[in-house]
A and B are shown apart, each in its own frame.
Chain A
Amino acid sequence: MEEIGKVPHWILHFGNYQMVFDKETLIMTWIVMAFWVLFALLATRETKIIPNPLQSAAELLIGTWDELVKDSLNLTDRRYFPFVTTVFLLFWISNMLGVIPFLSEPTKDLNTPLSLGVMGFFVAHYSGIKFKGFKAYIKGYFEPIFFMMPLNIIGELAKVVSISFRLFGNIMGGSIIILVVSYLVYSLVLPPFLNAFFGLFVGTIQAFVFAMLTLVYISVQIR
C-alpha cells in the first residue's frame, strides 16, 4: 500500500533555485507523444484512395473531430480543430496507458490536466477578446448586474479547476481502486476487468469530455 502518495523526482539546480520534475509523468508523456508521432508517420506513409486499415482509422478519428468542431463552432476555417483534437488524442492514450504493465497514466498527476486546462482557458479567453472585441468581452462579466463581477470571475476560474480535477480525480481514483482491489484479492481474477473498465472505458469517456468541454468553453466565448 505504500505506493499511494509516493512520487519519484528529478531535481535540477539553478543556483539557489531548484526545479522539480516528476520523472514518471515526464517519461510517460513522452511515450504517448512517441506513439502518436509513430502512428501519424505510419498512417500517412502511403495514402491511397482505397486506404489501408491504419489510414482509415486515422481518417475516421480526424473526420469525427472535424465534424464535432465544425458543428459546435460554426466557423468557416479550421483554426481550433488542431488544438482540440490534439488535447483529445493526448489524453486518450494517456488515460489508457495504465493498462500496460510497468507503465502508468501521466494524467494521474494533477499537473498534466491542469496545464492543459489552463491552456484551454487562455485560448478561450483570447478568442473571446478577438471575436467579440475587448469592450463586449469585459461587459460579459458585469451581467446580469454589475456587482456579480467577482462571482463571474470566480466562476470562470472554477471552470479550470473543474475541468482538470474531473480528469485527475477519475484517473487517479481508478488507479487507486485497481491498486487496492489487487492488494485485497492478491491480484487474482478481478484486476484485468477493472483495468478494462477504468483504463479503456472511463479513460476514453473522460478524454472525450475534457476535449469537448475545452471546445464548449471556446464556443461560449466566441458567440
Chain B
Amino acid sequence: MSERHFVRDLSDLPTHGHGPSNLTWWGTMGFMLIEGFAFVLAGFTYLYIMMQFRHWPPGMPPPDLTWGTLMTAALLLSLVPNVWAKRVAEASDLRGTRRAVLVMLAVGLVTLGIRGFEFTVLNALWDSNAYGSILWTILGLHTVHLLTDVGDTAVLAVLMFTRHGKDPRRMGDVTDNALYWNFVVGAWVPIYALLYLVPRFA
C-alpha cells in the first residue's frame, strides 16, 4: 500500500462502551446462548425420561418445596440489587459500584447456601434411577453457573478496590457480570418449574 488514500479520521471514537457496543457483551451473549441451549436440551432429556415412566417421580416423593421455593424467591429478589449494580456501573459511579458488587457477592453466597440445602431434600439420589440422574444433573448444571458467577463477582469485588477499579473498562465488566446474573436467574425459573412443579402437577 504505497499510495495512501485516507477518507476518515477515527481518533475521536471512544475507547469503551456498555452493552452491544462492547465486545465482551457479545461474547457473554454467545456463551449464554451455548449454556442456555444446554439447559434446554437437559430439560428435553428430563421430559424424555419422564415419558419412560408410568409414575413421575417413579416411586419416590418429589423434591421438598421449601428450599427450592426459597431459592426462586431469593433469585428473583436479587434482580433488584443486580439492576442497581448495572445502573451505578453505567453511570461510572465508583463508590456505588463498589458497594453494589459487595452486595451481589453476599447475595450470591446466600444462594449458594440455599442450594446446599436444596441438594439434601431431593428425595432421590443420582444413581437411584434415570429420574434421579437427570434431577441431579440439571441442578448440578445450574449450580456450576451459580458458582461461576459468584466466583466472577468475588474477583470483580477485589478488583474494584484496587487501582484497576478506576479504569472505566471495569464498569463494563460489572455490567456484563450483571447481565450474566440475569441469565442465571432467568435459567432458574423454568428449571424450578420442571424439577419442583412438574412432578406435582403434571
| A, B assembled together | no
Interface, chain A (partner B; CB < 8 A): none
Interface, chain B (partner A; CB < 8 A): none
